[in-house]
Amino acid sequence: MAQQWDEDPPAGDLFDEASDLLGRNVLTWWQDPATVTDPVVAQLAVFVCGVAAHRSLISHGLRPVVLAGHSIGEYAALEASGALRFGELLAVVKRRAELMAEAAHCTPGAMAAVVGDGAPTVARDVVAMHRGEGGLVLANENGPTQAVISGSVEAVEQAQAEVLDVGLRCVRLRVAGAFHSPLMRSAAEQFDEVLATLAWSTPSVPVIPNVDAVPTRNPDRLSALLRRQMLAPVRWAATSHALGQLALDAVVECGAIPTLGPLIRQVHPSLPTYLLTSAEALPPSLVSAAAFVSTSTA
């Protein structure tokens, strides 16, 4: 994720700043294969790469009119909007990942993606059948053909079998715990104290929060919703609807592979989406009226 952006000075400077603040070279750290499932590495990498991509792209003329991010990507969107400062958020993201890892260690959990036509309905029905058993919930409403369930390992495995029985795919995700589920409650309670210390500013452009998918520049609203985010489902399908209601020329996604763009196109097939892995890939036509979205991990 970082390699292409690191070649552009504004992004490279940000990676250096992150390395200084964290006390280690982040690019070397993140490239270690042993860290591939480490939630601290994953969340820091997604956050820092999202901010780096934004700084690189605006230095080349991109002027986003709205920002959004999926799960940890929302933190990158908030930084890019000017609502929160990078150094402060870097420490917060690190603490978020540590608390989630601790909760996952104490209460093992899993996540699985339900894939196919009507996936959100099937996922909701399966979750309803379990009536909260094993903390099973709908964690991500990503689009018409994709939803993610989260809960105890046993509950997710049972739900996978039930999804397969109705003819849809159900793919276990390579994550360390049951994110966006009640199994994260201990982490969320401790993290709320961390979020309460943040110093908010009014963002320069609207941000679309995960919790309600309603664009806003109100820092009090953004703060309140961020404090609910760890336990609430990510409403990405609703975010895609919100993007489609705006007068956008295109949506720009930063990330290593196309993830959010295809989900947005499921909701709004006529809205152009671009995956940019470096500033050199920025088309000149996208310097205004674009949305900037940041890829997620958990």
Give the pLDDT score at 227. 97
pLDDT of residue 298: 46
| pLDDT(287) > 80 | no
CA angle 42, 193, 41 (to 5 degrees): 10
pLDDT category of residue 290 using cuts at 50, 70 and 90: low
pLDDT of residue 295: 64
pLDDT over 70 (residue 288): no
Q: Give the tens place of pLDDT for each residue, 182-231.
A: 999 999 999 999 999 999 999 999 999 999 999 999 999 999 999 999 99
Q: What is the pLDDT of residue 289?
A: 56
Output the pLDDT for position 33: 87
Where does the chain hold its CATH 3.30.70.250 domain(s)? 109-176
Please report the pLDDT score of residue 204 as a whole number: 96
Is 286's pLDDT higher than 90?
no
Residues 83-89, mean pLDDT to the nearest whole number? 98
Average pLDDT over residues 254-267: 92
Structure confidence at residue 294 (pLDDT): 74
pLDDT on residue 267: 95
Length reported for the chain = 298
Is residue 71 flagged as an active site residue?
yes
pLDDT at 14: 97
| pLDDT at 280 > cutoff 70 | yes
pLDDT bracket for residue 279 (50, 70, 90): confident
What number is the average pLDDT over the span 14-43?
Answer: 92
Task: Grade residue 69 by pLDDT with cuts at 50, 70 and 90.
Answer: very high
3-105+183-294: CATH topology is: Malonyl-Coenzyme A Acyl Carrier Protein; domain 2 (3.40.366)
**Which tens digit of pLDDT belongs to each residue from 228-256?**
999 999 999 999 999 999 988 899 998 88
All CATH 3.40.366.10 domain ranges of the chain, comma separated, are 3-105+183-294
> Which of 54, 56, 70, 71 is labelled catalytic?
71
Catalytic annotation present for 150: no
The whole-model pTM stands at 0.95
Q: Which two structure tokens, joined as six digits, stand for 174?
A: 């390579």
Which CATH architecture is the domain 109-176 placed in? 2-Layer Sandwich (3.30)
Task: Check 54, 81, 180, 296 and give the catalytic one.
Answer: 180
Chain mean pLDDT for the chain:
93
